Every structure is written in structure tokens, then in C-alpha cells.
Structure 1
Amino acid sequence: MVDNLAVVAHAADDLRIEDIGAPAPRSDEAVVDVAYGGICGSDLHYFRHGAAGASVLREPMVLGHEVAGVVAVAAADGSGPVVGTAVAVHPLTAHGDGRTPWPSDQPNLAPASTYLGSAMHLPHTQGAFARRVAMPTRMLHPLPAGIDLRTAALAEPAAVAWHALQRAGDVRGRRVVVIGAGPIGQLVAAVAQRGGAASVTVTDLQQRPREIAEARGIRSLDARAEAEIAELHADVVVESSGTVPGLSAAVSAAIRGGTVVLLGLQRGGDVPAPLATAITRELTLRGSFRFGDEFDDVIAALADGSLDVRGIISEVLPVEDAHDAFALAADPASSCKVLIDFGLEI
């Protein structure tokens, strides 16, 4: 490979496609030839604002944590998959901070964790939007037959969606509403379908996401149709828009005694919410953050086709056109999940 092109954020509106040189793996790291990477909302925040919430860019950082590829060099210590193994990447490394308690069976809640492509810590945790990346073997999950590398790039966001539905319990026979039909909302709806929900409805301001959902047999509503949303009486509502109006709509859409899962990350600080309605309806409000041990279940469901993700990948652009890919991903009226193709030849 002549160069190791990577997508590197230097500051707000300063995204560069540059050669970062050959990776230098530690003994417990394998080198992966990355095939595809999905652009996430956090990547867009670093690109547009130089920060994702409290994680502020203070040095150049390779973006990306939704990736799949093939092992090019196995780990020197003999751990992990062998050369030629197709893998999806679980980007979390769980760490405690020595003082904050957290449940040991929920690694996603470890208070000092690192995540690929995150500026939370300094030095930053470099991401995986590069043609060739060294990663700890514990992050690498071999892919079964039946799943291609392009679809496997959806494993990480699909695990986020899967975890959110699990926070609500078994959805079989229940009415599910998803507020916000971006890539994560689409995947939540797909997981609800797979889980045997009696009905699944998504809401969104944009027409294209609603059409993508409808093509998979999911009902959709314009997010401005407040009266119709209030009549949904959903057993489970997943708020995936991360907006204040979306939070209000989620409470409005829930049946008395229902469950609202807060998946979309709201802005920092105080956020207005219709808590009086939540109280008088005895709603259960549950947060959802990243995911835990669901990753392999998600990969299996993508491989056997039981998780229907048709239409969610809307565009695939080569790494040389990463600027265009990010511009597309930032426009929900024009795209859903946008992938970067790193040019791996198989």
C-alpha cells in the first residue's frame, strides 16, 4: 500500500485527508485493513464544531469508530484472529477512574473509558478512519458467513440501537415509537421489528428518512404532526433525535404506564421536559448509552438477515472524497448512513 490515507480532524471545519504512515502495533494489537467506516454524529460534531459535547479537540485526531475490515497482521502475542479474518470493531475500552463506582457488568458505564475517535482524554484516542489501523485484539470480532464488510460497518450503531430496545425490556407484541429517523432511529426501528413489536412507527421532520422506514414496512409520521403523535399511545418510545422537541414528543407519544428510552444525547446543562405529564402517566424514563455485550448478537442478526437494514446505508464514497461524504452525512434531508470506502481489495 503506497500510503495510509486517514480522515483527520484538526479543528472545527478543518478536516484533512492525509497519510499517517504505517501503524506500529503493540504486542496485543493486530493490524487491520479497514474496508468501510460509517460516519457517526460524533464525527460530524468534531468536523463542524471541533468538539462533541465535552470532548474538545486539542490535537489532531483520526476520526471514526464504526468500522469493519480484514486482519492484515496478527498480534505478536498470539491473541485474536489470524491473518485474513474479516472483523467488525467494538471501539470501547472500559476504565474506572479509581473513585467513581460503576456496575462491573455494564462496561459502557465505566467512568474513564476510551472510545475510538474520541477527544475526551488527552492524548486523544485515535480513531479508525484510515486504510490500515493497529487495534487491540479484544476489539476485533470475527464475522460469520452471510455478512459482507459493508453491512458489518453497521454493527456498532446497530448495537447502540439494540441496547436501547433492551433497556425497555421485551418488545414482543408491544407498540413501539421511535422519535427521530436518522441512522440510529432507523436501526432502533429495525431492532423493534426483529423483536416482534406489534407495530413500529417513526417520526422525523424530513421526508427521506420517513420514506426509508416505510420501504421496510414501518409507519412514519411528520414530526410536526403533534396531534397524531399524541394519539399513538405507545408502550415503548425511544427518543433518538437528541432534541428538546423530540423529548417532548416522546413523552406525548407514550401510553400511561409506558416506557420512554432516552437514547439521543441532549445538550449539556438543563433541558426543559414535560415532567408533569411523565409523572401523572407514571412513565418509566430510562437512559441508554452506547452498548455492552450485545455486539456479537447484533453481528449474528445482521449475518442471518433477521435484522432488516435495507436502505439505511444511503451512500458510499471513497476516502479521497471524505469531505463530500461528511457534507452528505450532515444533511439528513439527503442521506441516511454514509460510509467511507477505504479501498480494500478482497
Structure 2
Amino acid sequence: MPGFRLPASAPAVVAHAAGDLRVEDVPLTAPAPDQAVVEIAYGGICGSDLHYWLHGAAGESVLKAPMVLGHEIVGVVAQAAADGSGPAAGTAVAVHPATPAPGDAKYPEDRPNLSPCCTYLGSAARFPHTDGAFSRYTKLPSRMLRVLPEGLSLRTAALVEPASVAWHAVARAGDVAGKTALVIGSGPIGALAVAVLKRAGAARIVAVDMHDKPLEIARAVGADEVLKGDDAEAIAAAEADIVIESSGSHVGLTSAIKGAVCGGKVVMVGLLPSGPQPVFISLAITRELELLGSFRFNDEIDEVIAALSDGSLFVDPVVTHEFTLDRGLEAFEVARNSAESGKVLLDFRP
């Protein structure tokens, strides 16, 4: 932006340890030549952000030092990259938060999301940790930035990253047009999977959750039927060709297996805890089910932006709450209550 000068510090959301979350000023350093400075507009609170706050860890990624959270972010370029790469100042952008490791050959070339040494914004998987972007200003490699089409609101675009996760999961199932789909767990990722399935032409979409609010959201974005998670008989009767398991629990995965038709596909996007899990796997064998993992996303982010822009992907009901940065701790408290909230956004604008 004309006349922009990077301040010495900016307010940010920082996880210090389990139960220790702070909104505090963090120092800002000059960007590298290939980095742009982005003024963050909105950030969506993800399950991993909640885990770092509540447990000091997200799966095997354990906090060893304070870390800025946040990877679901959109904003406006305040200062373009000095090397001329990336969008100009004043451009609205979404962010692809992954950095596959250079030279890491332990994954298929066309699936960089599987890079074992990949880093992600707001992740403690490596040390030093990779700071996230829940800050009023942040510097990001220009390759991470995706220009937002004119007319796409920043508030709607705040769902680009989680919608890309859902899009990738549905894509793992192949062609879903005309098929019955079952979504186990209707939190933000599950609800977004419903929206993606609807756009992809699924003939019947059944959404499952333990709580009424997520089911209300799932119906608003395209579910034809909703079921409570404890209604095992009704879930089994769904006989779905495609099942998206997004609850991240062994109970949910068992429900997914029971709800799949013989020869069906179960896409596992909900991240279960590490270690052995008690799952009804024998039924998956006798039904010849295809169990497919789904992890993050790749270039689907570009398709998601286009679909949000042309209105073919309807996701607005997924956002249920919005808080200014000074109410960041309250925002996290609301986000942890999955019975009453969908996606909770932080508004970083002054």
C-alpha cells in the first residue's frame, strides 16, 4: 500500500503452553526478498489451534516454545515481495499454508501434501516451530498467496483453507454425482464436505452429529437428511456409496464403516489420535470397502476460490461467530464448544 511502513510489532494470538493463550504484541522483522507483508483481515480458528491451547500439543506436535497460532487466514497485501514475485500491494489474498520440504522424495511428485518434512503455518511439528499468521501483520512467501477474485468477500474467503481440506477429501472418493453420501461429524470440515458434495452432484446427502447446531448448519449447506450420532440403526440404514468420516473418533469411523454400502468408499479426513484404535474393521473386509486417507490439500485451493467466487459452493452458514482480536480468548472459548458453534472467525482489522 502507498506509504506503508512495517511497524516494529503487531498484536497476535500466541500459545505459550497448555492452558496459556495470550493476545500480545510480537516483534516484526523485515521480510525476505520473496516475502510479502500481509495485513490479515480474518482468521478461522481450527481444531489444531484449540489443541495447542488446551493440551499444548496437536497430536504428536508438542509445543516447546511460544508459537503464533493460525493458518486459516485471508487479508490484503500491504507490501509486495521485493523480488517482484507475487501480487501487488492492495491485492486481497487467501493463503496456502504448506511448505513441502525441498528435495524430499518420500512422496508422489503430484501429492506434495504427503511430504513427510512439510511445514505448515502455526505448527509445532518441527523445532523451531513454524509460527502461524494470527497477527495483524505477517510476512509470507509470495508463493503461498492466492489472489481473490473481485466480488468475493474476505469474510467468505476466510473459509478457503478448510473448504480446500473438504474438497480434497471429497475428491479422494472420485465421482460422487448421483450417489448417496454420508458425512459422519458435521463440524466445520464435515459441513464444508456437505457443501462440496452438494456442488459435486451427490443425489442424497446424510449428515450425522451428536449435536443439533452442527446438524442445522449441515442442512443449511445441502444435507438432505440429518441423524444423531447415537442412532446406530439409522446410520447403518443409510447404505451410502461414499462416506466422509470427519469426526476424528474411533466411534465415528465404526459408524462410517457400518453406514457404507457393500463395495463403498470411506474417506477418513478426521484425524484420529495416534496409537491403536478399536474399530469394526472386519466389516470393512467382508463388505470390501475402500478405506481412503485424506490429509490437507494441494492445488484444490484454486478450485475452491473459483467455486466460492461464482457462487456454486455455498458455505456462508458454516461461520457462526465473529470476534475482534481484543476478544480473542473469548473467541477460543466459543470455538471449543462444538455444540453451539461452527466456524469461529477472528477479525484482525483495526
- Which residue of 200, 203, 208 maps to 1:198? 203
Aligned amino acid, residue 310 of structure 2: D
Structure 2 residue runs without a partner (length 5+): 1-6
Partner Cα distance (1:215, 1:303) in 2: 19
Task: Map 1:194-343 to 2 at 5 A.
Answer: 194-218=199-223, 219-343=225-349
* TM-score (normalised: structure 1): 0.97
Counting aligned pairs with the same residue, the percent is 55
Check the 8 A contact 1:146/1:304 in 2, yes or no. no
Q: Is the 8 A contact 2:156 2:316 kept in 1?
A: no
Q: CA deviation at 1:238?
A: 0.5
Q: Residue 132 of structure 2: SS of its match in structure 1?
A: coil
CA distance in 2 between counterparts of 1:83 and 1:328 reads 34
Residue 7 of structure 1 aligns to a residue in which SS?
A: strand
1:112 aligns with 2:112: no
Quickly say closer, same or farther: Cα 1:28–1:217, change in 2 above 3 A: closer
User: Residues of 1 paired with 2:342 and 2:100: CA distance?
Assistant: 29
Query: In the alignment, residue 243 of structure 2 is paired with which amino acid?
Result: V
Equivalent of 2:148, from 135, 139, 143? 143
State whether residues 8 and 28 of structure 2, in contact with CA within 8 Å, keep that contact through their aligned partners in structure 1: no
Letter in 2 for 1:140: L
Secondary structure, in 3 states, of the residue corresponding to 1:5? strand
- Partner of 2:317, secondary structure, is coil
User: Deviation at 1:105?
Assistant: 0.7
Report the CA distance between 1:83 and its aligned residue: 0.3
1:189 corresponds to: 194
Is structure 2 residue 89 aligned with structure 1 residue 83? Answer: yes
Give the alignment's Cα RMSD to 1 decimal. Answer: 1.2
Structure 1: how far apart are the matches of 2:29 and 2:306?
A: 30
SS in 2 for 1:159: helix
Distance 2:128 2:9 in 1: 24
- Return the match for 1:93 from 87, 99, 122: 99
> Is residue 127 of structure 2 the alignment partner of residue 122 of structure 1?
yes
Which residue is equivalent to 2:162?
A: 157
* Contact residue 184 and residue 243 of structure 2 kept, 8 A: yes
Q: Distance in 1 between matches of 2:133 and 2:125?
A: 16
1:49 matches 2:37: no
Q: How many residues align?
A: 343
Q: Which runs of 5+ in 1 are unaligned?
A: none
Q: Which of 61, 64, 68 is equivalent to 2:70?
A: 64
CA contact (8 A) 1:202 1:221 kept: yes
Three-state SS of the structure 2 residue aligned to 1:176 is strand
Is the 1:79–1:137 Cα contact (8 Å) retained in structure 2? yes
Separation of aligned partners in 2, 1:221 and 1:243: 17
C-alpha contact (below 8 Å) 1:96/1:111 kept by paired residues:
no
Aligned match for 1:30, one of 30, 33, 36: 36
Structure 2 letter corresponding to 1:146: G
Deviation at 1:310, TM superposition (A): 2.7
With over 3 angstroms needed to count, the CA separation of the structure-2 counterparts of 1:181 and 1:13, relative to structure 1, is: same
Q: Could you say what secondary structure the match of 1:124 adopts? A: coil
Q: 1:245-299 deviations in whole A, cap 9, x for unaligned?
A: 1010000100000000011000101111111100110100000000011111001
> Could you list the per-position Cα deviations for residues 151-204 of structure 1 after superposition, in whole angstroms to 9, with x for gaps in the alignment?
111000000000000000011001011000000000000000000000111100
